[in-house]
Structure 1
Amino acid sequence: MAAMTVAQMIELFLKPGAPVHIESFDGSSYGSDDAPLTLQVKNSRAIYYMVNAPSELGLARAYLQGDIDSPQLVPGNPYALFKELVPLKSYLRTPNPAQLAKALASVASHGFHRPAPPDIEGPSRARRISEGLLPHSKAGDEATVSYHYDQSNEFYSMFLGPSMTYTCAVFDSPLMSLEAAQKNKIDLVLDKLALQPGERLLDIGCGWGSMVIEAAKRGIKALGVTLSEEQVEWAQRWIKDEGLEDLAEVRLMDYRDVPEGDFDGICSIGMMEHVGHKHYPSYFKEIYAKLKPGAKLLNHQITRCNSHQGKKAGQFIDRYIFPDGELSSPAEIEMVIQDTGFEVINQENLRQHYALTLHRWNENLVAHWDDAVKLVGEPKARLWGLYMAGCAFNFEMNNIQVHQFLAIKPNDEGTDTYPLRPWWPNH
């Protein structure tokens, strides 16, 4: 029995007429030359990656190594490729067992291979657990946060820009600059919390310190905590450069270990994705205990669109981006906030804003592509381009959302503890 070509294998998985042209290293091709999308299978390693991990993980490994490519691809921003791939979904089909066995026999006829994953791939969830890094334990959180954020401050600055703000911006219009939109978001958070000069703010998962800096500029005494050493180094230098040491502080510390209490406000911006759904009650109880009566919480996080969707991320996100990351629906999150004892004042969906933010980050990465590749290598630069473009697409398609919850810790003064109508300006 003659071995199948790559094109013949592809035919098993795509119905006739699929709008794609595929060129393979073995000289075979699939589809029309004038198809709107051309993909190139550069070598046999791509096939073995997909045989060993027949999912998004196998495809990602091949893409990051350059084994699968496209002449239409912009590595720092493959968003257009995502758009072209969408129509292919309606052409997918499942081979029958005999066809699948024939394809696997063709691959095996060249030898059994399990190519090593890219060097930048992290360990599986099972391996992390076997090494004692239990999901959402203090040790586990420290390891997973370090894995994502302790990459290179210089690399992050290439796409985040001067604000070094790695969360959803808030745009007045699609034409607004990223820097102005990030300032908008920070102002929105601080305005919702309504803190006055001299009052105290705790920023949980403070990143590189942008929120702490802006709060201190308003005269607020701001403490930020993060588990990333590189973020702490950047933030402490930034605070010093701004001359804000008397008002701003950033520590390398788990939020659960912060000894202070009686804060006038707490914000958590883009940190809840690391907490884990089962740990939401203890997370909000910890925050509740650290706030004064009458003080407010602003919780900002990526969410699922409904409670039927799974909480855990897929293998690609878990291995490469956010190990142990979990998302929940806004209704599930709000229920836990209220069950903790908070009164929810306001809930806002910023889904469209995050898509715009990600597009700006991809544009920045493209503009600094050569420097990014020199600094971190092409696989890692490709990874961030892929991740951000994929997220932008999923926010646009309403596959994921991002919500801000503003809540207050009740006190003994009755209901008249905040203004009758929203007091923050439209940002």
Structure 2
Amino acid sequence: MTQTTGQATATTPIAQVVESLLRDGMPVRFRAYDGSTAGPPDGPGLELRNARGLSYLLTAPGDLGLARAYVRGDLEMLGVPPGDPYDLLVRLMDHTRFRTPGPAELVQVLKTLGTGSLVPPSPPPQEHLSRWRRTMEGVRHSKARDAEVIEHHYDVSNAFYEKVLGPSMAYTCAYYPHAEATLEEAQAAKFDLVARKLALQPGQRLLDVGCGWGGMAIHAAREYGVRVLAVTLSGEQASWGREAVERAGLSDLVEIRHQDYRNVGEKAFDAVSSIGLTEHIGVSRYPAYFGFLLDALRPGGRLLNHCITRPHNRRQETGAFIDRYVFPDGELTGVGRIVTAAQDVGLEVVHVENLRHHYALTLRDWCRNLVENWDACVEEAGLGTARVWGLYMAGSRVGFERNGIELHQVLATRTDERGENGWPLRSEW
């Protein structure tokens, strides 16, 4: 059948054509807007609702095209709750890449689907600029550009985050002391694990860089009597955190600043916590980052660096979906490279721990919160944004479970000129 309008007709077997383009065939049940179907008949699936969704799939094959169509509402997920497409993504993972058809086959595909299907539609409004376009607008990981991308990710809506993250407002990997622990118990256990690794004592001074909504700062002050300076690039986080500090009656111990950590002028801290900041730093800037934190510590002071890592030590940018919708300019590498960077500036690394299974559980619980509060989250942030977060969190859960990504805590200290670090023979925690 010859197609001249650039759009498939109602009798075109769109599902079969899409299936034929996938390298591994259709891994889930698939229904197209012409009524055609492909893939296994049971289990979770996808419904392609219109020609624009088809163009998204064809012009950005893989995760980005799927995300664009889903966020726009042109692609629906079947058999999974809104906010948690985990069961579907388990089946889709690593099976969304298109193969390159031969010339004759390509001509037939274009006749069937129409040349208009290869014209990229405008991306959803939730999509950030591509990396190369952001580079045209500013130096990567400059203070101005870092502030912009942090705002894109974290200034969505404090009310939205309250629904997804729960009362702790902790947007980092929790630590589950046992399999039945609740999310709140696990987040409190994470903050306490950090505090014990840092050996916090009453009257000490803690610098918390990338402090989020202030969870670590509040825990350290309330439970350990520590004075805390906490900084974040997100104005929304800083505002919410200050109110939380005041409600907790800790204003005399905790100061939360809307500030780049590189602008902190104070020195001689007893401890530094960095929970979820390194992902935004950029691998090339690790020396400056760890050098700054070393200078901020007194001799004998401790640093706890908690961040997402790769299972290898190559520098690797995040994928297109994560980069454009979730963490613009994000870069990940392995814990070996992080340890090397810390050692190269003079820090003594004393302990390394991988918590990737804990992050899979954390993401499971965040998705559960999103499902339970779906209507309120959609009302607060919009359907497209709610879909982005469900897709991101469920997909990340799969990544942690499969060891595609990891979460490492690296504990280090600043030794004095004699090599003393004040550590006991056995770890306190």
Q: Same fold (TM over 0.5)?
A: yes
Change (3 A) 1:107 1:293: same
Partner residue of 1:302 out of 308, 312, 318: 308
Q: Does 1:381 align with 2:386?
A: yes
Residue 46 of structure 2 aligns to a residue in which SS?
Answer: strand
1:159-183 alpha-carbon deviations (Å, 9 max, x no partner) = 1110100000000122101111100
Q: What is aligned with 1:402? A: 407
* Residue type at the aligned position of 1:358: L
For the 8 Å contact 1:75–1:386, the answer to whether it is kept is no
Partner residue of 1:65 out of 56, 72, 94: 72
* Residue type at the aligned position of 2:74: D
Q: Does 1:98 align with 2:104?
A: yes
Residue 70 of structure 1 aligns to a residue in which SS?
Answer: strand
Q: What is aligned with 1:8? A: 16
For the 8 Å contact 2:44–2:87, the answer to whether it is kept is no
Bigger Cα displacement from structure 2, 23-32 vs 10-19 = 10-19
Bigger Cα displacement from structure 2, 46-55 vs 285-294 = 46-55
* Residue type at the aligned position of 1:285: G
Q: What is aligned with 1:20? A: 28
Shift, 1:248, TM fit: 0.4
Q: Does 1:238 align with 2:239?
A: no
Bigger Cα displacement from structure 2, 91-100 vs 230-239 = 91-100
* Residue type at the aligned position of 2:129: P
Shift, 1:412, TM fit: 3.2
Cα distance in 2 between the residues matched to 1:113 and 1:277: 36
Q: What is aligned with 1:200? A: 205
Cα distance in 1 between the residues matched to 2:27 and 2:332: 33
Shift, 1:11, TM fit: 3.6
Shift, 1:111, TM fit: 7.2
Partner residue of 1:271 out of 265, 269, 277: 277
* Residue type at the aligned position of 1:129: T
Q: What is aligned with 2:88? A: 81
1:183-221 alpha-carbon deviations (Å, 9 max, x no partner) = 000001011111211110000000000111111112111
For the 8 Å contact 2:310–2:334, the answer to whether it is kept is yes
Shift, 1:152, TM fit: 0.4
Q: What is aligned with 2:353? A: 348
Q: How many residues align?
A: 420
Residue 179 of structure 1 aligns to a residue in which SS?
Answer: helix
1:48-67 alpha-carbon deviations (Å, 9 max, x no partner) = 11222223211110011221
Unaligned runs of 5+ in 1: none
Q: Does 1:158 align with 2:166?
A: no
* Residue type at the aligned position of 1:104: L
Change (3 A) 1:85 1:210: same
Residue 412 of structure 2 aligns to a residue in which SS?
Answer: strand
Shift, 1:15, TM fit: 7.3
TM-score scaled to structure 1, two decimals? Answer: 0.94
Residue 295 of structure 1 aligns to a residue in which SS?
Answer: strand
% identity of equivalent residues: 47
1:252-276 alpha-carbon deviations (Å, 9 max, x no partner) = 1111100101111001000000000
For the 8 Å contact 1:174–1:356, the answer to whether it is kept is no
Q: CA RMSD in A?
A: 2.0
Partner residue of 1:38 out of 37, 45, 62: 45
Q: What is aligned with 1:366? A: 371
For the 8 Å contact 1:5–1:28, the answer to whether it is kept is yes
Change (3 A) 1:243 1:114: same
For the 8 Å contact 1:354–1:402, the answer to whether it is kept is yes
For the 8 Å contact 1:36–1:84, the answer to whether it is kept is no
Change (3 A) 1:110 1:168: closer
Shift, 1:124, TM fit: 1.4
* Residue type at the aligned position of 1:189: V
Q: What is aligned with 1:191? A: 196
Shift, 1:126, TM fit: 1.9
Partner residue of 1:117 out of 113, 123, 136: 123
Unaligned runs of 5+ in 2: 4-11
Q: Does 1:54 align with 2:40?
A: no
Aligned 1:201-220 pairs, distance under 5 A: 201-217=206-222, 218-220=224-226
Cα distance in 2 between the residues matched to 1:247 and 1:333: 31
Q: Does 1:289 align with 2:295?
A: yes
Shift, 1:94, TM fit: 4.5
Cα distance in 1 between the residues matched to 2:95 and 2:120: 28
Residue 208 of structure 2 aligns to a residue in which SS?
Answer: strand
Shift, 1:233, TM fit: 0.5
For the 8 Å contact 1:334–1:344, the answer to whether it is kept is yes
Residue 82 of structure 2 aligns to a residue in which SS?
Answer: coil
